[in-house]
Amino acid sequence: MTNEKIDYHAIRERVVRKVSQAMSAKRFQHSLGVEKATRTLAKLNGADIEQAGLAGLVHDYAKERSDEEFVAMIHEKHLDSDLLNWNNNVWHGVVGRFFVEAELGITDPAILQAIERHTTGDAKMSLLDKLLYVGDYIEENRVFPGVDEARALAQVDLDLAVSFETEQTLCYLISQHKSIYPKTLATYNAYVAHFKEDL
Amino acid sequence: MTNEKIDYHAIRERVVRKVSQAMSAKRFQHSLGVEKATRTLAKLNGADIEQAGLAGLVHDYAKERSDEEFVAMIHEKHLDSDLLNWNNNVWHGVVGRFFVEAELGITDPAILQAIERHTTGDAKMSLLDKLLYVGDYIEENRVFPGVDEARALAQVDLDLAVSFETEQTLCYLISQHKSIYPKTLATYNAYVAHFKEDL
């Protein structure tokens, strides 16, 4: 994949106003925080900084769309009908990628995949997937128990940060008796669990 | 399903020695404890006491078989090849039911299904499935944090006991960084999670 042909900076200039208009001021602040975090993590991990920053900026573009709009998109794109059993928390990434593509004109498959996976993760994540997954969790506006440990891990080892975030997310969901999307479990089994040990 | 035609007590007399010879003394003691617990729970919930007791007695029949024997059975019965990625903890129920059928001659599909599901649960459990799932967890030889709460819940509401057990099991597996079988998550989502709330 050669990123040289895509001018991510020019795309940012073109879409940034549309992103800000699609969400609350607070969420736009979060988006700018994730952009900054993914750029920093990209630099640390030898990835494309502009590509990672753009993924960070637009990852929550669809977050404030109505349930009806997500359901319509699930039908329009003929996505797995099991998605209809879920909610905004899953939809804004897994389905949100199609709003980013259709309305912001971003077609880079690596960015669209990272948006798709930014909440649930995946058993096999690309470097960009991980940058956005972790960047979303540790950006400077985040305040929750464990965020400092997550930030420290991300400075040292991106896979350890993925593992920590996944475990924390699962524990939080269980503590709240919230439903857990199967792909979140697949991420746990791939990045946290010691699979081969004798149970 | 009429259970009147099946003499569960006669089957017990026929298989009890074979069960005891298939496992350590400690595990046989556990099996007798589960038999007692499932009988008590069956009485409380208006289920067939003899059927539930037999399910309890034989549920761990295959637990001490070798990995090679489980793998051979997975191939022989043409089971989902994903099972090959798992281990004794999953196999002794999901695959173990076939050993119970072949070697103990127990063909009651309700008992075989309860054995299949006794470790992982299922999104839609029968009454017998629940009696064994919970009975295995609370039998009198069990000692672990939370067992008294589990026992108390089982006296009051079997579904609440299923919920409590599933949540505790998930938390334990995560705390140990152990792999989680997808069906365990399906049980959590069905019996613990408040699915429809706004996440």
> What's the pLDDT score for residue B102?
98
What is the per-residue pLDDT across A73-110, written as a single tens digit (0 to 9) for each? 999 999 999 999 999 999 999 999 999 999 999 999 99
Residues in chain B, total: 199
> What's the pLDDT score for residue A165?
97
Asked if residues A132 and A55 have their Cβ atoms less than 8 Å apart, the reply is yes
Asked if residues A50 and A8 have their Cβ atoms less than 8 Å apart, the reply is yes
Computed over every residue of chain B, the mean pLDDT equals 95
DSSP single-letter state for residue A59: T
Residue A13 to chain B, least CA–CA distance (Å): 32
What is the per-residue pLDDT across A57-71, written as a single tens digit (0 to 9) for each? 999 999 999 999 999
What is the per-residue pLDDT across B120-150, written as a single tens digit (0 to 9) for each? 999 999 999 999 999 999 999 999 999 999 9
Computed over every residue of chain A, the mean pLDDT equals 95
- Give chain B positions within 8 Å (CB) of A160: none
> Tokens standing for A168?
């924390």
> What's the pLDDT score for residue A196?
43
Cα separation, A77 vs B187, whole angstroms: 29
* Whether A67 contacts chain B with CB within 8 A: no
Size of interface A-B (CB pairs under 8 A): 65
- A137 pLDDT band, cuts 50/70/90, is very high
Instruction: A134-138: list long-range contacts, CB under 8 Å, 24+ apart.
Output: A134/A37, A134/A41, A134/A158, A134/A161, A134/A162, A134/A165, A135/A34, A135/A37, A135/A38, A135/A41, A135/A52, A135/A56, A136/A34, A136/A37, A136/A56, A136/A59, A137/A161, A137/A165, A138/A37
The answer on pLDDT for B5 being more than 90 is no
Interval A164-183 mean pLDDT = 95
- What whole-number percentage of chain B has pLDDT above 70? 95
What is the per-residue pLDDT across B87-111, written as a single tens digit (0 to 9) for each? 999 999 999 999 999 999 999 999 9
The minimal CB distance from A199 to the residues B171, B178, B182 is found for: B178
* Whether A66 contacts chain B with CB within 8 A: no
| CA B143, chain centre distance (Å) | 18
Asked if residues B166 and B121 have their Cβ atoms less than 8 Å apart, the reply is yes
Asked if residues A34 and A57 have their Cβ atoms less than 8 Å apart, the reply is yes
* Whether A26 contacts chain B with CB within 8 A: no
Residue B194 backbone dihedrals phi, psi, to 5 degrees: -95, 95
> What's the pLDDT score for residue A5?
82
Determine whether the interchain pair A193/B179 forms a contact, defined as Cβ–Cβ distance below 8 Å.
Answer: yes
* Whether B160 contacts chain A with CB within 8 A: no
* Whether B72 contacts chain A with CB within 8 A: no
**What's the predicted TM-score (pTM) here?**
0.91
Mutate to test the interface with A, among B70, B170, B174, B187 (most CBs of A within 10 A): B174
- Give chain A positions within 8 Å (CB) of B198: 87-88
Rg (CA), chain A: 16
Determine whether the interchain pair A192/B182 forms a contact, defined as Cβ–Cβ distance below 8 Å.
Answer: no
ipTM summary value: 0.88
What is the per-residue pLDDT across B179-195, written as a single tens digit (0 to 9) for each? 999 999 999 999 999 65
The candidate with the shortest Cα–Cα distance to A57, out of A5, A109, A11, is: A11
